[in-house]
Structure 1
Amino acid sequence: MDDIRVDSQRFVDTLDSWIVDRPGRVILLFLLVSGLFVLGLGGGGTDSGTDQFTEDVPAEQALQAVNDNFERVTFGDDSGTTQLIQSGANVLSKPELLRMLEAQRRLADKPDLNVERTTSVARAVARTLDPSADSIEDEIRAVERSTPGEIDRAVRTTVADDPGLRALLSDDYNARSASASATIGTVSHRLPGGASEGPGTSGSSPLTSIQLRAEYIVSSVGGDITVFGSGITSEELGNVINDSLGLVIPAALALILLFLIVAYRDPVDLLLGLVSLGMAMLWTFGFMGLAGIAFSQLLVAIPPLLLAVGIDFGIHAINRYREEHVGDVSVREAMRIATDQLVVAFFIVTGTTVLGFAANLSSGLSSIRELGIVAAVGIVFTFFVFGVFLPATKVFADRWRERLGVPEFGSAALGSEQSLLGRVLPVGVYIARGAPRLFLVVILVSTAVMGQYGAGVDSRFTQDDFLPPEEPPAYLDHVPEPFRPGDYTVTETTNFLERKFQTGEEDTTTVYVEGPLHQDYALEALWRAGEDPPSSFVADGGHARETSIVTVIRSRAERDPEFAALVARNDRNDNGIPDDNLRTIYAALLDSPARDRALNYITDDYTSARIVYSVEADASQEAVTEDTRQVADRVRFEATATGGVIVLKAVSDVIGESAFRSLVIALVAAAAFLILVYAVLEGRPSLGLVNVLPIAVTVAALASTMRYLDIPFNVLTGTSLSIAIGLGIDYSAHLLHRFVEEYDGATDVDDALIETVRGTGGALTGSMLTTVSGLGVLWLAISPILGQFGLLIALSVLYSYLSSILVLPTTLVLWDRYVATGPGSDLALGDADPATD
């Protein structure tokens, strides 16, 4: 063990020598590496879509297979859909019908929009007026020639004959007056590059540019017609993120700069700190580009994390140097002493922080795994920049300052004994002096209660997490024009659709089936899965209401006597479901006019099928998911429950599982690392356990706060607990390492603690105030998910600081009393006596 300790000190001494004896070479080396990372900036691109969070979920993969195998039959191999949402006093009046028809005609006439087909109530009414109409131009003429009375009668007849059109009309549709206040038209596009039609959207979809172009064209028609679709939503998602950053980054930089000025109190030191922060950012984003990692909503967390750790490291490095650079102590000697201590402290913080972030590699979502990778790499870069580059530049700058006679504007360390801060910081030490055991019991009980309460935090994933509120916050009215965000319509549109078109009757869910569906038992097996349906399913006579290849066969048999006879000859139990010669049945069906409809529910090679079940509209996401999986388990073939609701629930489950798993891994890994490090470096493994308690307090407090504020685990906040561990270790590790330095040379544990909380605690206070204020302004972000994340990061830093300042002194007093010098001294490796160590 002593050999290991000697070897580690040799490494630290070598690094010290480079920093204080060759600062120019160190600076040049870091600048060259920075030039390499510049080449990677922007190389990974951006991804503003939400489908990045669903692509790893089996239910989404099944849904994509459904879209690939069945939706293409209707819309083409690669297709996308645009909705035209029309509103007005009566969208079924003659002028409004003509407006919808004209909008669809103008879109269809634009070759670059790749329109395959258009549907609307207006088109259906026009064909009722003129059954011979075979183009939109004919339909427009039919409506123009008709009187309002003829149009009203055609509306009533059309909707009555085709109940499916009712879903395209708002809930206030009145058949007697043939009126409605809103309707939806659809436009289907061929997309050579593919489109995402799942519950998530992707910013890279060609549908985005098509729908933005469609907005301009439709606006020329007049009236109130809104273009809506996944492309528009994706574009707005990107705008919300960019506008949020454009709003909060200037405010954050202003606050960070203000507190850094107070913390450094010297323009040269301030400049060095800012350059180091910029270098850490440059290296991290350059690495992302070189690694081909796209910048997404989730990776918005990276800049705040690097700022939090970088600000902390920077203030500690300068503050520790100032403590030593007093009297006749030279620049070289002061920095050697400071780095000799800080390199070890930074290594401990970096190692545990990296483990905290790397715990996200256990997530089932690739986007969260990427966050873990980038955050871990970024923290390592921060260690090198602030542990080597900043001290070297400080030595270089101070030597030139001495040569040129440039004065120092503020060289006193934060938290000095004479300052107000120096008198307040030891409050945790005073508590530890008076009643350490009682205080520890209170902390343990409080942590257990907060942890139990915080265990009830919900997990949730919806696109609404990324969208701005329908009504913009009032404070935006006072934002200066260069930073004022744009106008957003997606939330307003989605809320309008929910208000106007929520019939309250039923939604749907899907089971995707794979297997040899030509086997004689196949159709019976598919049908029997819907018997005795679960509670969230809509039932018809004891059977789930479904649409499938079975219902298509029965429907065709009702209209085609010849096909009905074929079915009857191969139906052994006379229930309308064939049991023999299914290849013959399928072939006859696909040769009939029902071919397109059949191919919506079974592939032409008879190896895949889908069953669409109706579910109650008010059924919960959890109930629909469980019930659909239950029905899927009844199918004799390989069957997967899927659909938009199930995909979102699956992502929510993965997020919750990932948050818990990464928390456990981060805690265990951090504790093991701390025990090992303190055993190797100090011969006191028990100090590693002492370091864990403030972290546990921080995590429990953060989880309980999330539940109290109703902030769920989502794709961004789901990482907050492991991040809290990383940031929490940052504060407690700095204090603990400084305590070990003071304790080895002190005769009284109180003296060591007082010196620790005044010296390192002062730097921690400056770091905490800078980070909390700078990152807390993310709460002002327009994107709800960014606001929640900023609030949680700020709270995790605040809780980490408070638990370190208040809780750690008590645990160290008890450690000294019962472990270092008491009955548990055998837990310390080597000579743990502070008087002789």
Structure 2
Amino acid sequence: MNNQNSWKTLAVNLLAERTLLIVGIATVFTLLLLYPLFQMTPTLQASPNPPGEVFELQKDLNDKFPNSIHFTPFLLESLAGDVLTPNVLLEFKQRRQELFAKDAIGALAAGDLERQPYLVNYLDSETGVLMTGTHSILDPIEAGLIDIGTTLESASEEEVKLAVHRLISDPKTSAVLDFLSRHATHTPSTAMGHEIRLWVSPAMTFSVMTDNQKLGGGGLEIGVGGGPDVIAKEYLNRHIRDVMKEGSTSYAIWGIAIDANLEAQDEGKTAGIFIMFTVIGALLVVGLTLKSYWATAICGVGLGVLMIWLKGISSLIGLKSGLVIDLIVPIGMISLGVDFAVHALRRYKEELNKQYPPRMALKIGLSSVIGALILAMLTDSIAFLSNLSLHRSVIHFGSAAAMRFLLRSPF
């Protein structure tokens, strides 16, 4: 009598006798979760920074002492091995002028930014040179060429090398050396009748300067978990990069940590490919193990439903995305969910082989494994929940992983 009234017996009888009702409820629940799945998906990444005095102080500093200029740093590498040549510098200047032209009509704005000019000028206190739009060695070199009596458009390589030598040799402007690569070298030479150090640098750094107040203010943030203002700045950074490298024939450009959040989102989108291969592999295992088309098809439908439940509930409760959550959690749910399904279906087939009717075989087989499956589900969920910490990214990962194990029970 006690065995007939046990929770396992009641649960199994409910599943076996009310199959259509349970499937109907699951279908309605799945359809309802489609709305948060597509309309409420978080666009921000979970921040890896824990709450604490250091990060709270940084936030206060950003709020009380916002930067007036937003610097977007880049690395420029010459394809010929030397950036201190008229060809490279002139092409760099032409791309910068294109940047100015786009900015003047508001075409530099990207993402949700308002169409307006963003570039600003900056008087470099170390060199005394007015930097127009970009903080680079270009403006000091042009000022040096004017002192020689020429311009970058008409300067020879000797004149450029002489201007660079004078800049680096003068204590007032020697700070321009910081723009050059640490692999920059110099050799004794002669230019226009002057003894000089002939500088050769394979690369240089430069930064594009924009009005930080127009971009929402705040300080420089590098890392995932940034807010809408950080995302907007990253879209602008990418647009600037595209303009500066478009059609370049003498150099290559790389951004320096200019789009951490957008890159994390792009990497997260590639998770779908790996998840697809995981599903295919899991279904192949089911098909080879059970040798049943219907079992494989049911597992495929079940995996699809579980993915909707995981993503839908995550969006509904506001779990932020991230590469770990978007990739590892679904793959783990698929592999372990299929493992549970194979155990249950194997047990069901064993009872069928004993000549039990299908419904009775389902009751006996499911009652034999349901306790172990629920115990494994609970212990796995508790294990992941125990990993929760003050880090938002860990909180969201632990919550999503625990949810994964809880959801696989109705597989």
TM range (shorter): 0.7 to 0.9
* Paired letter, 1:104: R
Deviations 1:351-390 (A, max 9, x none): 11111111122x221111111111212221211x23xxxx
- 1:89–1:326 distance in 2 versus 1, CA, 3 Å: closer
Displacement of 1:211 after TM fit? 3.1
Deviations 1:156-199 (A, max 9, x none): 12123323221211222326113322112211223524577334
| Counterpart Cα distance in 1 of 2:247 and 2:381 | 55
Which of 63, 76, 82 is matched with 1:85 structurally? Answer: 76
- 1:70–1:194 distance in 2 versus 1, CA, 3 Å: closer
Deviations 1:440-495 (A, max 9, x none): xxxxxxxxxxxxxxxxxxxxxxxxxxxxxxxxxxxxxxxxxxxxxxxxxxxxxxxx
* Paired letter, 1:129: L
- 1:266–1:39 distance in 2 versus 1, CA, 3 Å: same
- 1:374–1:53 distance in 2 versus 1, CA, 3 Å: same
2:89 corresponding residue in structure 1 = 97
Displacement of 1:36 after TM fit? 1.5
Mapping of 1:341-356 within 5 angstroms? 341-356=368-383
- 1:194–1:230 distance in 2 versus 1, CA, 3 Å: farther
CA contact (8 A) 1:209 1:231 kept: no
Q: Secondary structure at the match of 2:134?
A: strand
| Counterpart Cα distance in 2 of 1:163 and 1:55 | 41
Which of 222, 232, 243 is matched with 1:217 structurally? Answer: 243
Q: Is structure 2 residue 182 aligned with structure 1 residue 190?
A: no
2:194 corresponding residue in structure 1 = none
Which of 382, 393, 396 is matched with 1:370 structurally? Answer: 396
| Counterpart Cα distance in 2 of 1:142 and 1:291 | 61
Q: Is structure 2 residue 278 aligned with structure 1 residue 252?
A: yes
Q: Is structure 2 residue 130 aligned with structure 1 residue 130?
A: no
Displacement of 1:238 after TM fit? 3.7
| Counterpart Cα distance in 2 of 1:249 and 1:262 | 20
| Counterpart Cα distance in 1 of 2:314 and 2:396 | 10
1:360 corresponding residue in structure 2 = 387
Q: Which has the larger radius of gyration?
A: 1
Where in structure 2 are there 5+ consecutive unaligned residues?
109-117, 121-132, 188-196
2:185 corresponding residue in structure 1 = 173
* Paired letter, 2:202: S
- 1:100–1:159 distance in 2 versus 1, CA, 3 Å: farther
Q: Is structure 2 residue 72 aligned with structure 1 residue 72?
A: no
Mapping of 1:457-496 within 5 angstroms? none
Q: Is structure 2 residue 257 aligned with structure 1 residue 230?
A: yes
Q: Secondary structure at the match of 1:183?
A: strand
Q: Is structure 2 residue 28 aligned with structure 1 residue 32?
A: yes
Displacement of 1:147 after TM fit? 4.3
CA contact (8 A) 1:195 1:207 kept: no
Which of 291, 312, 322 is matched with 1:265 structurally? Answer: 291
Displacement of 1:47 after TM fit? 4.2
* Paired letter, 1:351: L
Q: Is structure 2 residue 364 aligned with structure 1 residue 337?
A: yes
Displacement of 1:65 after TM fit? 4.8
Q: Secondary structure at the match of 1:53?
A: coil
- 1:167–1:295 distance in 2 versus 1, CA, 3 Å: same
Deviations 1:27-84 (A, max 9, x none): 1111111111111114223446xx82136465444445555555614x1xxx241425
- 1:201–1:344 distance in 2 versus 1, CA, 3 Å: closer
Displacement of 1:267 after TM fit? 0.8
CA contact (8 A) 2:44 2:225 kept: yes
| Counterpart Cα distance in 1 of 2:271 and 2:381 | 28
| Counterpart Cα distance in 1 of 2:357 and 2:184 | 83
Q: Secondary structure at the match of 1:318?
A: helix
| Counterpart Cα distance in 2 of 1:157 and 1:67 | 39
Indicate the RMSD between aligned Cα atoms, in angstroms: 3.0
Report which structure shows greater RCO (CA 8 Å, sep ≥6).
Answer: 2
Q: Secondary structure at the match of 1:143?
A: coil
Mapping of 1:375-774 within 5 angstroms? 375-383=401-409, 385-386=410-411
| Counterpart Cα distance in 1 of 2:334 and 2:310 | 12
Displacement of 1:303 after TM fit? 0.6
* Paired letter, 2:177: R
2:129 corresponding residue in structure 1 = none
Q: What's the % identity of the aligned pairs?
A: 19
- 1:154–1:353 distance in 2 versus 1, CA, 3 Å: same
Higher helix share: 1
* Paired letter, 1:153: L
- 1:7–1:72 distance in 2 versus 1, CA, 3 Å: farther
Which of 16, 19, 23 is matched with 2:15 structurally? Answer: 19
CA contact (8 A) 1:91 1:182 kept: yes
| Counterpart Cα distance in 2 of 1:318 and 1:269 | 8
| Counterpart Cα distance in 2 of 1:255 and 1:196 | 46
1:115 corresponding residue in structure 2 = 119
* Paired letter, 1:156: H
| Counterpart Cα distance in 2 of 1:222 and 1:202 | 36
Q: Secondary structure at the match of 2:209?
A: strand
CA contact (8 A) 1:194 1:206 kept: no
* Paired letter, 1:262: L
| Counterpart Cα distance in 1 of 2:372 and 2:11 | 14
2:115 corresponding residue in structure 1 = none
Where in structure 1 are there 5+ consecutive unaligned residues?
133-138, 387-837
Aligned residues: 366
